[in-house]
Structure 1
Amino acid sequence: MKDMDNRFTTCQAISMARRYGWVIALGREDSSCVLGAVALGLEKKLPYFAEGNLCINLYTESLEAGRLSEESVPRLPPGKYVGILAAPLSRTAFEPHSIVIYGNGAQVMRLGQAWLWKRGGTLSTQFRGRVDCADIAIAPFIDGEPQMVVPCTGDRIFGQVQDHEIAFSFPYSMMDDILEGLEATHKAGASRYPVTNWLTYTGGFPQSYEDYRHMLDEAGPPGGE
């Protein structure tokens, strides 16, 4: 991204791949967000950071709460990787570690149902309202589990995620299971997208409408005496 003469957040890089169809490499020298850079292992986690100083008075009331928030963020080992490479699947000439799909609530619900098709149970996820790039890109990679992610403030400001959007990320190795689950649950018919509307029912109406219906029943059809 140095070729663009700007520095960017991780969520911006992901959004460029998503919206522009670009293949984007974001390294240490390209990153503008220290939170994302530390999560990716591109920058050191100094004591000032670990103590919660980047949380207090912004996301937490106290340093201790900020410290706990920082501890909860999935992180890659410092210095192990040189950056992140983001691309739309149609242009991915490499095997990605994580896949992210943005959608509305119903679409992401279907992805979660697909994941549970073979496994059952529940899909556990995490929320902190910040550093969602760690949940999107890193958590599936290191934990081997999918994530339903409510986009954070930064993703909305810099990545320009819209209010109706939720993210679903998962390890690339689970792609076949997700696709199989989508197909199977769609075929089963209980849950599809677009969601099927149930229309064969009698609706309820205000009491005055019902009272008039009774009057009409007593009066008989038009033209009758």
Structure 2
Amino acid sequence: MNKNDEINNLKMNYHFSEELKRNLDLKSHPVAIKFILHKKDIPKNIKKINQKIRHCEMVQNASQGDEFYSTCNEQLCKGGSAALGLEKPPKNVTTGEFYHDLGRFKSVGSAKRTMDEIPKMDLNSYAILYSPLEKADFTPDIIVIIANPKQIMLSSQAIVYNLGGKLESSFAGIQSVCADAVAGPFINKTPNVTLGCNGSRKFGKIKDEELVMGLNGENIDSIITALNSMES
């Protein structure tokens, strides 16, 4: 990507971010996420995060203004890292034993049935870029917003504004910010709303009154247009 592309991306993303915040009255930044397949493709202006934390914490940090990238080595939650295609999932996660041992399921079988349906990216990425949308000079694969129910309602109305229909959300209260809000929308090319999970609310500081929504980066301009049309 050349310098002109970076400048154009930055201008567009700044505009998209400002419009989302204005129309939805968001209190935090929309978060731009991009998957990087090869180390050489990491933008030189973006530094690696200097701590080992969970993906949901990284999204929260980016929503507060931080910009960075992470490899699997900086991802503390290996289930989330695996859902995002950075590494293979731990065996006790795929078997359901991990969540059964946490007391989330009555049996290992019920845990495994849920884990079988959790979205998992088969991308084998080297890294993930995290940035406030307004700072991103790249085209995001996914845009995550942390919002209250009314703001999610308005976003949903904007998504169906042009073609109609209804949104279908998929969640189980597990791996919400990683699998539900990022991996699922990336794989299915459709937005998704998730209620959060114990980990994202405890470590990612998702508030009791907040939901999380994952949007496809390539469709954000139509959502902005719809929000502006709905406003007029």
Work out whether the TM-score is over 0.5: yes
What is the CA distance between 1:48 and its match in structure 2?
3.5
CA distance in 1, matches of 2:81, 2:161: 35
Q: SS at 1:160's partner residue? A: coil
Identity %: 28
Counting only pairs closer than 5 Å after superposition, residues 5-154 of structure 1 correspond to structure 2 as: 6-19=51-64, 21-57=65-101, 58-77=103-122, 80-132=124-176, 133-154=178-199
Aligned amino acid, residue 127 of structure 2: G
What is the CA distance between 1:47 and its match in structure 2?
4.3
1:177-224 superposed Cα distances (whole Å, 9 cap, x missing partner):
11121122222xxxxxxxxxxxxxxxxxxxxxxxxxxxxxxxxxxxxx
Aligned amino acid, residue 71 of structure 2: G
Task: Give the structure with higher Rg (CA).
Answer: 1
CA distance in 2, matches of 1:59, 1:73: 15
Q: SS at 1:117's partner residue? A: coil
Q: Figure out how many residues of one structure are paired with residues of the other and give that number.
A: 184
CA distance in 2, matches of 1:161, 1:26: 20
Aligned partners of 1:103 and 1:165 also within 8 Å: yes
Aligned partners of 1:16 and 1:24 also within 8 Å: no
CA distance in 2, matches of 1:24, 1:129: 27
Aligned partners of 1:25 and 1:83 also within 8 Å: yes
Structure 2: tracts of 5 or more residues without a match: 1-46
1:132-179 superposed Cα distances (whole Å, 9 cap, x missing partner):
111111111111101112111111111111111111211011111111
Structure 1 residues 114 and 3: CA distance shift in structure 2, 3 A = closer
CA distance in 1, matches of 2:127, 2:48: 12
CA distance in 2, matches of 1:2, 1:184: 39
CA distance in 2, matches of 1:24, 1:166: 23
Structure 1: tracts of 5 or more residues without a match: 188-225
TM-score, length basis structure 1: 0.77
What is the CA distance between 1:46 and its match in structure 2?
4.9
CA distance in 2, matches of 1:12, 1:53: 24
Structure 1 residues 185 and 44: CA distance shift in structure 2, 3 A = same
